[in-house]
Structure 1
Amino acid sequence: MNRRSFLSTLTALLGAGGASAATLSLGGQSNTEHRIELLRSPIAGFQYHDGETVWSQLRVADALQLIREADNVHDPRAVRVEWQGHILGYVPRLDNATISYLLDHQQNLQAYITALEESRNPWQRVTFTVHLAT
């Protein structure tokens, strides 16, 4: 899905409250709950927070919490990523505009761990995905 069609679909879903998405099929899968993948990314700042402490407990498909930090002095669009109350890091600054906007407008976003890799590079340790549930 290219950016233009993604934004058109997203706008239509948000404007219609998701009601028009009854036949939406993503990735060749058809579900009763429809999800639109908004972001697949590494977690920014993983090395500065609780990531190493909880590394051995993290599993692919674990749910993550997205917490909006509108008062963050470094980035007014900051979105913190947590796992079971532990701060893992942030949605990368270059990718957080849409996610922060949707959180500010109380949209149903779901985030999950999609890959774990034992790497010395903190940008390769945890990959997560954010979906908009419709």
Structure 2
Amino acid sequence: MNRTVLLIEDNEQNRYLTTFLLEKHGYSVVAALDGARGIELGKTANPAIILLDIQLPVMHGYDVARALRSIAPLQDVPIIAVTSYAMAGDREKALAAGCDGYIEKPIDPDTFVSEIRKFLPPE
């Protein structure tokens, strides 16, 4: 089973924690610091899932989600918005842009990986 996670996150601490939790559970993490680089890595990394921050430099996360969805091999790859955007309507905006799920920051280290697994096929 493919256990590669594409993490598009500009905040170093968030990237570190997310990577630590995922690697501890046997996932391989490929990280991008901005949306443009995330799109490029999406084309080559063959991710099983994409974790996408919404507030990014270079490109906004909603635009990144739309761009990822336009890449044929990524059309069925789950994209999960992992974001501090928690106002009314933010979840709906993420889903409308092409995300399959939405997790609010700060993430809960005790439940984060199990939340991600909900979007992956059973092992």
Shorter-chain TM-score category?
under 0.3
Relative contact order, higher structure (CA 8 A, sep 6+): 1
- Structure number having the greater strand percentage: 1
- Structure number having the greater helix percentage: 2
Task: Calculate the TM-score normalised by the size of structure 1.
Answer: 0.25
Task: Calculate the TM-score normalised by the size of structure 2.
Answer: 0.26
**If you compute each CA radius of gyration, which structure gives the higher value, 1 or 2?**
1
